[in-house]
Amino acid sequence: MDLIIRDAQLRHTEGTRDIGVSDGRIVQIANRIPRKGQREIDAQGRLTTPTFIDPHLHLDKALISEVVRPNLSGTLDEAIEIIWEKKKQYTIEDIVKRASRVLHWGIGYGTTIFRTNVDVDTIGKLVPVEALLEVKKRFAGICRLQIVAFPQEGILKNPGTEELLRQAMKIGADVVGGMPFNERTMADSQRHIDICFEIAKEFGADIDMHVDETDDPSARTLELLAAKTIQEGYQGRVTAVHTCALAAYDDVYAAKVIGLVKEAGLNMITNPATNLMLQGRMDTEPRRRGITRVKELLAAGINVAYGQDCLKDTFYPTFGQADPLEVGLITAHAAQMSLPEEIETLFDMATVNGARILRMEDYGIEEGRTANLNIIDTTTVQEAFRTQADRRHVIRRGEVIAETETRTKLHIDA
Ligand SMILES: [Zn+2]
């Protein structure tokens, strides 16, 4: 065997296991593997989990807050406006550099599967997608990168975008994005959704939309998207991201929409870091939390994950390091998840729930699956979040691609 990980603590498992890897795949999981491996890692009882998945990250915009003017109102609208100027000056090289820096951080934190939304509009045209395709090439074999062609400026509001979306799909984008609330009228929002489905069907692609990222309780595009998904028989292939307005609805309408989301088999992604910062800006106290109804969606049996979303851009200008344990900790606070089983769910949201969004079958710690693993410097997922534990070994296809070990030395008597 190429690699044997000794004494690994797996989730939901009594006692530790040895994990044997050959040709990048897990070939044996046993209490004790008697043979010697080419390489051996003694996990010493540390928590060993599948790789993290970040299903929502804007790599084309990441880190631009380092060079643009600050977002003084802190709102989504101003964030989009500031980016217009920068987008006009985008170069492939600039985007590749920023995206690569962020991927390096994410990989160090144990994420090797990403879905990134990349702007497609008449301002930046296809430059961001071309840049991310270049990044995808450079990182092939290191991480899996799925590209969503994202009409950030709307489709009807920004004539020419529909054709650009088709071109983005032609040159290699994987998923059709959308932002139906960013249109002038409800009829245009519906048309926006219809166009996204037309393109997705042309290319046999899945759909991943920014939906109702607003505190406006009259926003209705989640309902429209769910209904369209049912009509088109696209259950399981559509993801709705943000859905902040769901939290602004009254409980009766929210329950109706959650029922539709369930029937449509929509996947949901919440991004509490960004939305805690952006939403509720115009509220007086008590301020809304700005995130979607995470617990109610989970209780309805809907697949929910979380993502970093923005990272030092005009939307979320100051923080973010593409660490799922950090985003998970923020999610726990924002969604008030604190019970032991809720913390297990929180960890699922950064792992298996993301795999369901990407419809990956080859995922998880099981014999026959690709060995994409993290050995985390703790024994339980709760402690992993609490201490933001080091990812001691990040393993991709059986190779160690990152190691972290942080040490504190106390020089005190008490
Ligand atoms: Zn987003």
Domain of 246: which CATH number? 3.20.20.140
Question: Region 279-296: what's the mean pLDDT?
Answer: 93
Annotated active-site residue in 213, 344, 361, 405: 213
Q: Are residues 91 and 234 in the same domain?
A: yes
pLDDT of residue 15: 97
Q: Does the pLDDT value for residue 326 go beyond 90?
A: yes
147 CA from centroid of ligand 1 (Å) = 13
Task: Place 233 in a pLDDT band, splitting at 50, 70 and 90.
Answer: very high
pLDDT of 78 strictly over 90: no
**Same structural domain for residues 44 and 61?**
no
Per-residue pLDDT for 409 more than 90? yes
Give the model's confidence band at 339: pLDDT under 50 very low, under 70 low, under 90 confident, else very high: very high
Q: Is the pLDDT of residue 407 over 90?
A: yes
End-to-end CA distance of the chain: 48
The pLDDT assigned to 28 comes to: 98
d(CA 62, CA 102): 7
Query: Can 367 be counted among the known catalytic residues?
Result: no
The answer on 251 and 132 residing in a single domain is yes
Q: Is the pLDDT of residue 175 over 90?
A: yes
Q: What's the 97 CA to ligand 1 centre distance in angstroms? A: 20
Q: How far apart are CA 261 and CA 255, in angstroms?
A: 10
Residue span of the structural domain in which 394 resides: 3-51+364-403
User: Rounded to the nearest whole angstrom, what is the distance from the C-alpha of residue 241 to the centroid of ligand 1?
Assistant: 7
pLDDT surpassing 90 at residue 77: no
Give the number of domains in the chain: 2
The pLDDT, as a whole number, for residue 74 is 84
Return the amino acid letter for 45.
Answer: G
CA of 62 to the centre of ligand 1 (A): 11
CA of 150 relative to ligand 1 center, distance in Å: 9
Distance 178 CA to ligand 1 centre (A): 10
Residue at 266 is within a domain:
yes
311 and 374 belong to one structural domain: no
Check whether residue 93 and residue 236 sit in a common domain: yes
User: What is the pLDDT confidence band of residue 85, given thresholds at 50, 70 and 90?
Assistant: confident
Mean pLDDT, rounded, for 333-360: 98
15 and 99 fall within a common domain:
no
Percent of the chain with pLDDT over 90: 92
The pLDDT value given to residue 71: 87
The answer to whether residue 414 sits within a structural domain is no
45 and 61 together in one domain: no
CA–centroid distance, residue 264 to ligand 1 (Å): 21
Question: Do 382 and 240 share a structural domain?
Answer: no
Across the chain, what does the average pLDDT equal?
97
- As residues whose CB is below 5 A from the ion ligand 1, the structure lists 309
* pLDDT at site 325: 98
Do 146 and 45 fall within a single domain? no
The pLDDT value recorded for residue 260 is 98
Condensed to tens digits (0 to 9), the pLDDT of residues 102-118 reads 999 999 999 999 999 99
Q: The whole model's pTM is what?
A: 0.96
